[in-house]
Amino acid sequence: MAYTPRLLLLASLAVPAGVTSSCSSPSKPQAVDAPVRIRWAKDPESLDPFAQPNQNAVEAQGLMTGSLLAVNPETRKFEPFLAEALPLVSYSGDSLTLLSYRLKPAATWDSGQPITAADVAFTLKLIFCKGVPNEGFQLQEAFIRDIQSDPHDARRFTLVCKGKAPDYAQASGDFPVVPEASLDPEGRLRKYSLAEFQGWARASRRTELAQVQQLIAARYTAPRPAPHPQQLGGCGPYSLTEWNRDRQVVFTRKKNWWGDKAGGSILFQAKPSRLEYIIIPDESSASLALRGGQLDVFPNVPARVFERLKNSAAAQQKLSFYTSPTYEVMTAGFNTSRPALHDAATRQALSRLFDAEQLRQASQLGKGFRTVGLISPQEKGKYNDSLHLIPYSPSAAAELLTKAGWRRGPAGWHRQLGKSPSQQLSLQVRYRGSDTNYELVALQFASAAKGLGIPVTLMPTESGVLRGLLQTGDFDMYVQSIKGNPFLFNFLPILGTQGIGEANLTRFASPAADQLMQQVAAAESPAGRDILLRRFQALMQQQMPLVPLYFVANRVITGKNVAGVNVMSLKPGYLASTIYHVPPAR
């Protein structure tokens, strides 16, 4: 329950499928001390607090680390976690926002040392330190330009932010805090300002600063935080005790966690003494493990598996079923750096080969909903309802390809643009091989493309190597879901030029789009931001770096041997820290 990355969403608590009461048990049965076993479809790959390659890595960080603020799924608002209260907001001149924080006196590191403003300052500088895998957080926190510590209170500080966006008060608390003592016990970074780490150092200090950054980066990577995050130290309720790659990840509850004294908020509930994440890529095997009692929680259940078990009288005796809407959108992305896909006209044409409605019906069994972009249709005012859904029309695709300069011949589609080499339209589509919904999208597209004479090679890929291949551009197209965001609107990491090689898998680069995304993130009023968001959706539909298909539904199944189940729209779709075992029913 430590922090909520900015590309995740505010959630509403869900209810059991077919039930209208609260998603938690109506009463609180006596807890039984036993491990809570949860299915993960894939390995987290890295537990580095700044390099989070997938949702499982994000979930793991939420157990081990802490941020200033976190989203409370019960209140649907950001609330203080490490911070004593929400920041006090004030303004300086026409262009600066000042956010004043104070850390909780009880907040301590695993070592027992208090968490101070010096740790927050160190973390912000580490985010912008060269040599540390921090590109995603750099884009998210770039609006913070300075941190001013209170000389009379080690827990008090003020963040100086460029612009006056109302979202800054929430976004400013959305990064994992790292202990200064673990990497910089001498306090070497204290003499440098945050601005210097952001590239504003005077010429006379650049060489010295570069040497210090090199030292700190070496210290950061030396303990290999990806496989050994405990070397950095943490402040969350759990510690990593076992990681058997592609098999199991185990976390153990800390006996003297400072959060036990922080109040009754759900953010500070950590009920299971042991969390065991069992990695089972195959959905049928996971279903068997759940029914056989080897699993307690099966999140992100495919619709057909969910409905089959829900309609089984035998399964209903042992299992509980939960659903909720989400802001997770299924997409197909283009490698816009490939010559054949560099122009928006070609991408527009190929987008007509996705039968999004049929895919939604097949994969979600009628749940979820179509969309024109990355903003959920549930977000009235923000969602651009003046745009049309992308139609499925192979004939329109062929017409648009012709307008883009492609000609169909016996050997397929080709085009000649000026003196450039002749281009042949053939596509390789990557997706995580163990995900049936991704595979369904890829198969449907390949079938439609084949009907137009466009050869498509499907490349199901192991999750452990997929992200690296996507980040280096080793694909023509990919299929992947994106976790949306109804209140912190920073799309630069996933579609901005600076995100290429990291979260911007499409490699889409547009100065105009970058400028618009910056304006969205820094908008000073909700009304102005909504106008910019609608403009952004229109631009993305015009440029088409990716095809938004449909928003998925969240489905979770648990054994009836556990209680405290809170299922929600916020990824990962449930709260592991509130679940506990109960005595078997008599």
Residue from 342, 473, 475 nearest 415 by CA: 342
Same domain, residue pair 436 and 548? yes
Residue 288 lies in a domain: yes
Residue 6 lies in a domain: no
Give the bridge partners for 580, in sequence order.
Answer: 563
What 8-state DSSP symbol labels residue 229? G
Q: Give 264-299 pLDDT, tens digit per residue.
A: 899 999 999 999 999 999 999 999 999 999 999 999
Residue 37 lies in a domain: no
Same domain, residue pair 387 and 458? yes
DSSP 561-572: TEE---BBSSTT
Same domain, residue pair 295 and 313? yes
| 475/2: higher pLDDT | 475
CATH code for the domain in which residue 558 is found = 3.40.190.10
Residue 24 lies in a domain: no
pLDDT band at 11 (very low <50, low <70, confident <90, very high): very low
Least confident of 286-290, 483-487, 532-536: 483-487
CATH code for the domain in which residue 95 is found = 3.90.76.10
The answer on pLDDT for 146 being more than 80 is yes
Q: What is the pLDDT of residue 29?
A: 67
Amino acid found at 189: L
Stretch 478-489: mean pLDDT? 83
Residue 36 lies in a domain: no
Residue with tokens 């300086």: 92
State which of 182, 205, 223 marks the end of a domain: 223
For the chain, percent of residues with pLDDT exceeding 90: 76
**Structural contact between residues 161 and 195, judged by C-beta atoms closer than 8 angstroms:** no
Stretch 112-137: mean pLDDT? 93
Least confident of 115-124, 453-462, 519-528, 553-562: 519-528
State which of 192, 223, 254 marks the end of a domain: 223
Q: Give 375-388 pLDDT, tens digit per residue.
A: 999 888 999 999 99
Residue 54 lies in a domain: no
pLDDT band at 23 (very low <50, low <70, confident <90, very high): very low
E strand residue ranges, 433-541: 456-461, 477-483
Same domain, residue pair 257 and 156? no
Same domain, residue pair 390 and 312? no
| 539/77: higher pLDDT | 539
Q: What is the pLDDT of residue 232?
A: 86
Q: What is the pLDDT of residue 20?
A: 31
Number of domains forming the structure of the chain: 3
Q: What is the pLDDT of residue 341?
A: 98
What tokens were used for 258?
A: 């400072």
Stretch 167-183: mean pLDDT? 93
Residue from 496, 486, 568 nearest 530 by CA: 486
Stretch 14-34: mean pLDDT? 54
Same domain, residue pair 461 and 333? yes
Same domain, residue pair 252 and 288? yes
pLDDT band at 28 (very low <50, low <70, confident <90, very high): low
Q: What is the pLDDT of residue 432?
A: 93
Provide the 10 A C-beta neighbour count for residue 3: 25
CATH code for the domain in which residue 360 is found = 3.10.105.10
Domain that holds residue 270: 231-325+553-581
Same domain, residue pair 205 and 239? no
Give CA–CA dist 446/451, Å, rounded: 9
The answer on pLDDT for 527 being more than 60 is yes
Give CA–CA dist 586/572, Å, rounded: 32
Give CA–CA dist 96/94, Å, rounded: 6
Q: What is the pLDDT of residue 485?
A: 62
Same domain, residue pair 126 and 206? yes
Same domain, residue pair 198 and 239? no
What tokens were used for 350?
A: 């190929």
Residue 66 lies in a domain: no
Provide the 10 A C-beta neighbour count for residue 231: 13
Same domain, residue pair 397 and 521? yes
Q: What is the pLDDT of residue 13?
A: 39
Stretch 37-58: mean pLDDT? 92
Provide the 10 A C-beta neighbour count for residue 178: 26
The answer on pLDDT for 543 being more than 60 is yes
Task: Name the 3-class secondary structure at 260.
Answer: helix
What tokens were used for 144?
A: 């913070």
The answer on pLDDT for 417 being more than 80 is yes
Average pLDDT value over all residues in the chain: 91
DSSP 349-406: HHHTT--HHHHHHHHHTT-SEE-SSSS-TTSTTTS-TTSPPPP--HHHHHHHHHHTT-
The answer on pLDDT for 175 being more than 90 is yes
Q: What is the pLDDT of residue 17?
A: 54
Q: What is the pLDDT of residue 407?
A: 97
| 154/75: higher pLDDT | 154
Give CA–CA dist 327/331, Å, rounded: 12
Same domain, residue pair 248 and 119? no
Q: Give 330-349 pLDDT, tens digit per residue.
A: 999 999 999 999 999 999 99
Residue 485 lies in a domain: yes
**Structural contact between residues 575 and 568, judged by C-beta atoms closer than 8 angstroms:** yes
| 155/418: higher pLDDT | 155
pLDDT band at 570 (very low <50, low <70, confident <90, very high): confident
Give CA–CA dist 126/390, Å, rounded: 42
Stretch 102-121: mean pLDDT? 97
The answer on pLDDT for 97 being more than 60 is yes
Q: Give 207-231 pLDDT, tens digit per residue.
A: 999 999 999 999 998 877 777 787 8
Residue with tokens 């993305």: 540
Q: What is the pLDDT of residue 75?
A: 76
